[in-house]
């Protein structure tokens, strides 16, 4: 079967017809059984778009595989303690230490703590006589003495913890208020 040719001698209905996602449909008839005609420029654009999509998907996939995404956890623990249960988190016996921070999703070395855009407000929520009271907790950027108080992390977390330590992106809660008075860090059952 002989292929149709344009005035310039190029064939109509070639390799480009199959792989050009920008090909134009042939109006109300077909050429050699083809219902659209592709061009070399359309094929080139198709290749560029396909390469861009593959690059983007690979880049995003590597971020996920390398754990470059933040971990968002929500844990709710039902209170199983009786009403007379009391624990003081400020006592040396319990050795309670907490750090928090938010980092850029793609680059965990960039802290999102610019005071022009972000305001942290850690709070204790107390329930006294069926009235909820929110008490702000002062905080500071974690220093070496704070990091020394944390328990040793699991081996698989050492690299992630070291990044946070090296980049100074974490904040620690103060044990005292702005006047130097110790905060009430006592938790009660029910």
- Same domain? For 55 and 91 the reply is no
Question: 104 and 161 share a domain?
Answer: yes
Query: Which pLDDT belongs to residue 107?
Result: 67
Q: What is the pLDDT of residue 73?
A: 54
Task: Indicate yes or no: pTM above 0.85.
Answer: no
In a domain, 8, yes or no: no
24 and 102 inside one domain: no
Are 33 and 90 in the same domain?
Answer: no
CA 2/CA 12 separation, integer angstroms: 11
Interior CA angle at 23 toward 21 and 24, to 5°?
Answer: 140
Whether 1 maps to a domain, the answer reads no
Q: Looking at the structure, tell me whether residues 53 and 95 fall in a common domain.
A: no
Q: Is residue 116 part of a domain?
A: yes
Q: Are 121 and 183 members of one domain? A: yes
Is there a single domain that holds both residue 131 and residue 45? no
Residue ranges in 20-111 assigned as alpha helix (H): 40-65
Take residue 80 and report the two structure tokens written for it: 């199983």
42 with 120, same domain: the answer is no
Q: How many domains does the chain have?
A: 2
d(CA 98, CA 137): 12
108 in the same domain as 175: yes
Residues in the chain with pLDDT values less than 50: 1
Q: What is the pLDDT of residue 1?
A: 44
Q: Tell me, yes or no, whether 6 lies in a domain.
A: no
Q: Are residues 101 and 184 in the same domain?
A: yes
Measured CA to CA, the distance from residue 154 to residue 161 in angstroms comes to: 10
pLDDT, residue 105, reads 65
State residue 89's pLDDT score: 74
Strands in 2-115 per DSSP E = 24-25, 36-37, 86-88, 99-100
User: What is the extent of the structural domain holding 96?
Assistant: 86-188
């Amino acid at each position: 079967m002989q292929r149709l040719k344009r005035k310039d001698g190029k064939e109509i209905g070639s390799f480009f017809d199959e792989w050009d996602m920008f090909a134009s449909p042939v109006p109300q008839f077909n050429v050699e059984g083809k219902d659209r005609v592709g061009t070399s420029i359309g094929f080139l654009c198709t290749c560029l778009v396909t390469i861009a999509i593959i690059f983007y998907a690979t880049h995003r996939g590597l971020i996920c595989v390398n754990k470059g995404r933040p971990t968002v956890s929500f844990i709710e623990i039902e209170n199983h303690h009786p009403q007379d249960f009391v624990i003081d988190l400020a006592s040396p016996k319990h050795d309670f230490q907490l750090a928090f921070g938010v980092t850029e999703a793609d680059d965990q070395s960039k802290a999102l703590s610019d005071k022009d855009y972000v305001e942290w407000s850690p709070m204790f929520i107390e329930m006294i006589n069926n009235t909820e009271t929110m008490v702000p907790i002062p905080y500071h950027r974690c220093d070496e003495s704070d990091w020394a108080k944390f328990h040793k992390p699991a081996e698989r977390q050492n690299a992630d913890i070291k990044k946070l330590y090296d980049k100074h992106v974490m904040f620690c809660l103060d044990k005292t208020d702005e006047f130097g008075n110790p905060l009430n860090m006592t938790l009660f059952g029910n």
